[in-house]
Each structure stands twice: as C-alpha cells, then as structure tokens.
C-alpha cells in the first residue's frame, strides 16, 4: 500500500512543479489542504490517523495530533519556525521532525527592511493618498545612518545586519549565543537587552518563539525605547505582548510598529488594527518565489529521507 502524505502549506508547489516531481518518484498518495486556510487542531485530529508523513506550514502539530497520528513517521516543516510543533512529544513518540534552514532567511531579511523603509517614509499612506486622487505630502524619517537593534542574530538577523551596513547604520545586537566573528567582520556590537532597547531607532525581532521568548517585548521593554523608536516584528506574534504594544502606540510611547505576525493569526478583532502608526502584513516574510521554491524542495527532501530510510539533513532537536 502506498504511503499517504498530507501537505498543508498553501504555497507548496505554487511557484514551481519541482517539489511535486520529486514526490512523483515515490508513488505516495498525496492529499493537499485545499481549504484556503491553515487547519486547526480539531480538523487535524479528524484526518491525521491515515497519514505516514506530513509537510506542514503553520498548522498546530500538538501532543493530541501527534498521539492520534499512529502511523505518522515524519513531520516535515516547510520553513524554520518550529513553535507550532510539539517537539518533545514528537521525540517521545519517535516521530522525526525535519525543517528547512537557509530556505527563506534572505526573503525575511528583505521583508524586515522593506517594512522599516515603508513605515519610516509612510509609503503605504502615500499610495492610498494618490489612489484617492489626492496630492499631499507626508513627512517621514530617514533610515540611513540611524541605529538598528537586532534581537536574534541567526540566519535572518545576520541578513538584516548585512543590509544595514549598506545604509551606514550603527548596528546593535542581542543574542543568547553572540557571533563575535560575524559582528567584528561587519562592525556590529553585541550589547545587553536594556542598552539595545534604549539606544536603537529601529528594533527588529528575529528570535524563535520559545517559552523564554514569550512576551520578551512587554510594557517594561516598550517603556525603555525612545519615543521615536520603530518596532519591527517578522518573527512570531507571541514575542510581543500585543496589549502592551497597543498602549505604547496609542499613547505615542514609541513612534510606530510594523507587524508581519500576530499572537493569533489572522488577527481578527485585534485592536492594533485600529491604530494609525502601525503597518500590517499577513505573515508574508517568506512569501517569495525564491524562498517558496527552496522550502518546497527542502521539505520534500526531509520527508523522503525519513520515509525512505535515509539520514535527514536537517533534523529538529
Ligand atoms: P535562527 O535559528 O537562524 O536564529 C535564531 C536566533 O535566535 C539564534 O541566533 C539564537 O541564538 C537566537 N535565540 C534563540 N533563543 C534565544 C533567546 N532565548 N535569547 C536570545 N537569543 C535567542 O532562525 P532564523 O532563520 O533567523 O528565524 C528566526 C525566526 O523568524 C524563526 O524562529 C521564525 O519564528 C521567524 N520566521 C518568520 C517568517 C515569516 O514569514 N515572517 C519566516 C521565517 C522565519
């Protein structure tokens, strides 16, 4: 009997047929999520029992889902953020979890920079003005030569730092594991959290959502920031306390924020959407042709390696 594979990411195979061609060789039975949105836990619980493997996006692979998936041997994450997968339970049950490091970091770094520029120069507002047959000017602030604080200097954080050198920025960084060699090479300086928050004009988050990182940016941290500071979050919504952010933006404790990610996605009934000094996007940091192609290929490689008895290249620990 052929192995049954569930594919949940909406963009999988959309920009290139290569991931499907790779899968074709194995005669798997493929079921694609065609609901147009990610599955919730109950929907996964209803179907997971039948599957040998899953290529997963942001859908919740919880303890209950893993326990119900009696045949499941591999969860292949299409991306790098593993916070939607219960890694401990997967390990306990012997389900291998693979992921795709290096596939989307440049896309997300581009996006974080784009958000910074768009918000600083109010470009989304200007677009709206001209479309509405108005001809007005909006005064923004320069990015060039300012101080950027990068929280998390892994693949994406390093990409943002590299881009910041081109804008002649002073680069401050914070990470559990500082990469001094990289910092020295590009002129970036590791500092403590308080210094980074107090000194930066732009603060950008590139850490995973772990227990320690939950609400890492709360009212105390927002109070430490300059009133002209701009916060960019392309990482995970849970890293920022959204109630505290709402108050900081509403009462101009900071100048602005750009969010690609939210504590609950999509962010329906979220008060942040009412504010004017915020720029919003729909978890699109990795949504490029380039990253989509790479994530598709690497996710298939991870899945196939486990199901065909080979050593997976990128196994989550
Ligand atoms: P990465 O693993 O390369 O880097 C993460 C960095 O965070 C590492 O340098 C690590 O040392 C640091 N870190 C981890 N825990 C920490 C802690 N407690 N305190 C301080 N530093 C800590 O990951 P990456 O590829 O740069 O991705 C970062 C995050 O971006 C992902 O976890 C994911 O949540 C998010 N992401 C979002 C999108 C999007 O579409 N918006 C796409 C890809 C990734």
Domains of the chain are 4-103+289-307 (3.40.50.720), 105-280 (3.40.50.720)
Helices (H), the chain: 18-24, 41-47, 63-68, 87-93, 105-120, 123-131, 155-166, 180-186, 193-199, 219-224, 242-250, 289-307
Mutate to test the pocket of ligand 1, among 207, 261, 282 (most ligand atoms within 8 A of CB): 207
Integer Cα distance of 30 and 58 in angstroms: 19
pTM of the model: 0.95
| CB atoms closer than 10 angstroms to residue 283 | 19
Average pLDDT of the residues in 191-205: 98
Using CA atoms, how far residue 193 sits from 154, 167, 172, 245, in Å, is 16, 23, 10, 18
Confidence of residue 309 (pLDDT cuts 50, 70, 90): very high
Mean pLDDT over the full length of the chain: 97
**Ligand 1 shell residues, CB under 6 Å:** 79-81, 104-105, 108, 152-157, 175-177, 206-210, 212-213, 234-236, 260-261, 283, 285-286
Q: What percent of the chain has pLDDT over 70?
A: 100
pLDDT at 182 over 90: yes
For the segment 245-270, the average pLDDT, to the nearest whole number, is 97
Of all protein residues, whose CA lies closest to atom 4 belonging to ligand 1? Answer: 154
Residues 6+ apart with CB under 8 A from 293: 15, 16, 18
Cis peptide before 266 (omega within 30 of 0): yes
283 is catalytic: yes
Q: Which of 63, 170, 265, 271 is catalytic?
A: 265
Look at residues 218, 286, 191 and name the one whose alpha carbon lies nearest to residue 231.
218
Instruction: Dig out the tokens for 317 from the structure.
Output: 């620990």
Q: Which among 175, 240, 290, 314 is the best mutation to test ligand 1's pocket, defined by most ligand atoms within 8 Å of the CB? A: 175
Atom of ligand 1 nearest to the CA of 83: 34
Average pLDDT value for residue range 12-40: 96
- How far apart are the C-alpha atoms of 27 and 11, rounded to whole Å? 22
Query: Quick one: pLDDT at residue 276?
Result: 96
Write the pLDDT tens digit of every residue in 74-92. 999 999 999 999 999 999 9
Position 160 pLDDT exceeds 90? yes
Q: Exactly one of 236, 242, 263, 294 is catalytic; which is it?
A: 236
pLDDT of residue 211: 96
Instruction: Tell me if residue 265 is catalytic.
Output: yes
**Ligand 1 centroid from CA 111, angstroms:** 15
Contact 260, 233 (CB under 8 A): yes
Give residue 229's pLDDT band: very low, low, confident or very high (50, 70, 90). Answer: very high
Q: What is the rounded radius of gyration, in angstroms, for the C-alpha atoms of the chain?
A: 21
Cα(262)–Cα(272) distance, rounded to whole angstroms? 10
Closest atom of ligand 1 to CA, residue 156: 26
What is the pLDDT, as a whole number, of residue 317?
Answer: 86
Task: Determine which one of 221, 242, 283, 301 is catalytic.
Answer: 283
Mean pLDDT of 19-36: 96
Token code pair at residue 316? 């989550």
Which pLDDT belongs to residue 271?
97
pLDDT in tens, 288-303: 999 999 999 999 999 9
The secondary element (H helix, E strand) that includes residue 55 is strand 53-56
Mutate to test the pocket of ligand 1, among 80, 180, 238 (most ligand atoms within 8 A of CB): 80
Buried b (16+ CB within 10 A) or exposed e, 287-316: bbeebbbbbbbbbbbbbbbbbeeeebebeb
Per-residue pLDDT at 1 exceeds 90: no
Residue 237 has pLDDT above 90, yes or no: yes
Is residue 68 within 8 Å of 49, Cβ to Cβ?
yes
């Amino acid at each position: 009997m052929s192995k049954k594979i569930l594919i949940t990411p909406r963009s999988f195979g959309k920009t290139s047929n290569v991931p499907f061609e790779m899968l074709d060789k194995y005669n798997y039975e493929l079921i694609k999520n065609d609901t147009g949105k990610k599955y919730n836990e109950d929907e996964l619980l209803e179907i997971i029992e039948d599957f040998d493997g899953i290529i997963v996006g942001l859908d919740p692979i919880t303890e209950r889902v893993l326990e119900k998936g009696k045949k499941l041997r591999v969860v292949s994450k299409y991306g790098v953020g593993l916070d939607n997968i219960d890694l401990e339970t997967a390990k306990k049950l012997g389900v291998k979890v693979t992921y795709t490091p290096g596939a989307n970091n440049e896309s997300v770094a581009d996006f974080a920079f784009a958000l910074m520029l768009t918000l600083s120069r109010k470009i989304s507002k200007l677009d709206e003005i001209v479309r509405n047959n108005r001809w007005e000017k909006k005064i923004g602030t320069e990015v060039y030569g300012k101080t950027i604080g990068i929280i998390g200097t892994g693949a994406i954080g390093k990409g943002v730092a590299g881009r910041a050198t081109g804008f002649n920025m002073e680069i401050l960084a914070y990470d559990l594991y500082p990469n001094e060699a990289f910092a020295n090479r590009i002129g970036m300086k590791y500092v403590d959290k308080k210094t980074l928050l107090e000194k930066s004009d732009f603060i950008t988050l590139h850490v995973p959502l772990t227990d320690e990182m939950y609400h890492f940016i709360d009212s105390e941290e927002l109070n430490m920031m300059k009133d002209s500071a701009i916060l960019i979050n392309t990482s995970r919504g849970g890293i920022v306390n959204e109630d505290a952010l709402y108050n900081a933006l509403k009462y101009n404790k900071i100048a602005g924020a750009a969010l690609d990610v939210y504590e609950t996605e999509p962010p329906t009934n979220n008060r942040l959407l009412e504010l004017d000094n915020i720029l919003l996007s729909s978890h699109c940091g990795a949504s490029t042709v380039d990253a989509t192609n790479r994530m598709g290929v690497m996710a298939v490689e991870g899945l196939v390696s486990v199901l065909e008895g080979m050593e997976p290249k990128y196994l989550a620990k």
